[in-house]
Amino acid sequence: PGWFSEISPMWPGEAHSLKVEKILFQGKSDYQNVMVFQSSTYGKVLVLDGVIQLTERDERAYQEMITHLPLCSIPNPKKVLVIGGGDGGVLREVSRHSSVEQIDICEIDKMVVDVSKQFFPDVAVGYDDPRVKLHIGDGVAFLKAVPEGTYDAVIVDSSDPIGPAQELFEKPFFASVAKALRPGGVVCTQAESIWLHMHIIEDIVANCRQIFKGSVNYAWTTVPTYPSGVIGFMLCSTEGPPVDFKHPVNPVDRDDICCKSKRPLKFYNSEIHSAAFCLPSFAKKVIESK
């Protein structure tokens, strides 16, 4: 009864609103406020500290892109690490790749996992995959303990740089990701909006270029319920076998029939993979000059 508006100092002067049918959960974990509500037109919505994390209607756009942009860019990914992503949506997408043997996930807030399993079963279905190993803890500390060159791919499905995820946008964290990746390994991180955060993106790209000596690219997609309606990703590879992110070598399309418990891909395909790296001039100028 009424409206939820996503008001934040991260997007001053604007707020996306969703009509609320019923509040289903409100809690406070050790790290953040957690809320779930039934919206009128976007299904159930997960909110952390007042910021929309996902809605049932459009979550697949984000989860499919943040997962398949990296995993379809390398042949035969075997070991994958997810930092954040406690809702399980990225796990659901990683499990579409039959070459994957081990999926580690490090999520700091157990309440996010429990709430997702209770209210978003089609998202948390990712936890049902036997290859998944859940670690509850700080991704920064987790990565420091990872042996060098362990993973083929790391996916950083974080919230925004204000709150628990702040350190996941800083240089030391990127350096620990690079160490945990094999030569020619890939990382994909949530990288904000070109409409709202060009300065944050500028800093992230500059840091990535110093740390990842393979390729460094920025891709973006549309998610109606994220502020400005778009969200971006940093796609980086470590020195080693070259990775051409713009031309997928490992199409997941043929894999999606292998997973019984998941519906076919709703958003990602090979064409939109390549298109995701095409940037408007104002963003291209900043990102490609760094």
Ligand X SMILES: NCCCN[C@H]1CC[C@H](NCCCN)CC1
Catalytic residues: 157
Residue whose CB is less far from ligand X, 89 or 214: 89
Residues within window 87-106 making contact with ligand X, judged by CB under 6 A? 87, 89
Joined tokens for residue 35: 């809320």
Our CA dihedral for 48, 167, 220, 38, rounded to 10 degrees, sits at -10
Q: How far is the CB of 51 from ligand X (least distance, A)?
A: 5
Binding ligand X (rule: CB under 6 A), the pick from 193, 207, 215, 221 is 193
224-233: string of b/e by CB count within 10 Å (b at 16+)? Answer: ebbbbebbbb
Q: How far is the CB of 89 from ligand X (least distance, A)?
A: 5
Quick check: 124 and 87 in contact, CB under 8 A? yes
Considering the rule CB under 6 A, would residue 32 count as an interface residue with ligand X?
A: no
Residue whose CB is less far from ligand X, 163 or 240: 163
**Can you say how many angstroms the Cα of residue 239 is from the centroid of all Cα atoms in its chain?**
23
Binding ligand X (rule: CB under 6 A), the pick from 64, 104, 152, 192 is 192
Considering the rule CB under 6 A, would residue 225 count as an interface residue with ligand X?
A: no
Nearest to 155 by CA among 190, 192, 205: 190
Nearest to 234 by CA among 218, 250, 247, 220: 218
Q: How far is the CB of 81 from ligand X (least distance, A)?
A: 15
CA distance 158 to 81: 13
Considering the rule CB under 6 A, would residue 196 count as an interface residue with ligand X?
A: yes
Binding ligand X (rule: CB under 6 A), the pick from 4, 18, 36, 53 is 53
Q: Which residues bind ligand X (CB under 6 A)?
A: 51, 53-54, 62, 85, 87, 89, 157, 159-160, 190, 192-193, 196, 226-227, 231
